Amino acid sequence: MMKLSEVSEYSGFEIIKNIRPVRNTRIHIKPEGKIVVVGKNAELIQQFLDAKSKWITNKVNQIKSISNKHNLPENKIPFFGKFYNMGNFKKMNVSDLRKTFRDTLKVNAEAYLSQTTKSKIKVRVWAMKRKLGSFSRRKNEMHLSVYLAFLPKHLVEYVIFHEYAHTLERSHNKKFYRIIEMRFPFRKALDLELRKWWLLKDKILRKYDFSKSI
Ligand SMILES: [Zn+2]
């Protein structure tokens, strides 16, 4: 087996070693083909890369197969899963564009929640690039990423239900997934679909200077 520490590139993915005074060595694989490792020193980073080589290989192959399958049609942007010409969005001014994305997502989320629970959950939309959503129990408030507005409605609802389920069960344990499966019996298929769309979102943000407007 080839040791990862001997290369600065892995299966077409560039390895970026970032030495910083962090407590734990960590890794992040970006869908555009970069492996970023953060660690206290070069030696620790190398040990980490060697120990994780199998995991990295799997992850890299997964990302490659997903991004090959899910291409972004030229000059098109998805809005709730349907692709529209980029020109339609370019014509809008920033406040209309924001309204279209944020408000539509918020209205949809609130409507879905009102069918799901009697509890008055507040919905707030943020430009979160990594997280799809989160739930604040203290404020009884759901936070959603504005980029969910790219995704098909059933996936948006799946994410909202996930966050809602945290009002019933805090951690991702068996009980939590039983709650999810009562509403979404094929959750594994949805997870896969969600991952593809979330990677597509990264492609959109890389390709179009769009994120500041929404
Ligand atoms: Zn969760």
Is residue 213 within 8 Å of residue 127, measured between CB atoms?
Answer: no
Residue 132 CA, ligand 1 centroid: distance in Å? 10
59-101 pLDDT, tens digit each? 888 777 766 666 788 888 999 999 999 888 888 888 888 889 9
- Cα of 198 vs centre of ligand 1, distance in Å, is 16
How many angstroms separate the alpha carbon of residue 11 from the centre of ligand 1? 31
Q: How many helices (H) and strands (E) does the chain have?
A: 8, 9
Q: What is the pLDDT of residues 34-50, one digit of tens each?
A: 889 999 998 999 899 98
Q: How far is the CA of 163 from the centre of ligand 1 (A)?
A: 6
Domains and CATH numbers, the chain: 4-69 (no CATH), 76-207 (3.30.2010.10)
